[in-house]
Amino acid sequence: MATPVVRQFGGARRRLIEELQQKGISDISVLRAFDEVPRHIFVPTGVQHRAYEDSPLPIGNGQTISQPWVHARYLELLGLTGSERVLEIGTGSGFQTALLSRLAGQVFSIERIPALAEEARLALKQCEIG
């Protein structure tokens, strides 16, 4: 059963998944990861209403969270099988980390900006990741 955090914005998340499919994303495991990971948790509250748009959003400290299609395309190209150990350089918001956690066996992520690292840690914890 989905947690309240995952259920929130459920309709918007499904519309985003449909949009990703229309733009050519067909890997079921990648689409499932997008359904399971609540992007709104990984963006500042001031832009949460835009979390499921296919666009980059500011996350503070002069950084952005990439547009969902970019995440989906590179994950699809990686072709992860679930047994990999992945090193992510630049955690940012933690959204990519969360997606990777659904697709790889183990994920290691580092972030050089302390404020972003802490926000990502909190978001991942809220999503019961890590």
Reported as a single tens digit per residue, the pLDDT across 29-59 is 999 999 999 999 999 999 999 999 999 999 9
Mean pLDDT score, 78-107? 97
Query: Pairing relation of β-strands 57-60 and 63-65?
Result: antiparallel
110 is written with which tokens?
């580092």
pTM of the model: 0.92
Confidence of residue 28 (pLDDT cuts 50, 70, 90): very high
**Beta carbons of 91 and 109 less than 8 angstroms apart:** yes
Q: What is the pLDDT of residue 6?
A: 55
Q: Which residues are catalytic?
A: 66
Give mean pLDDT, residues 100-114. Answer: 97
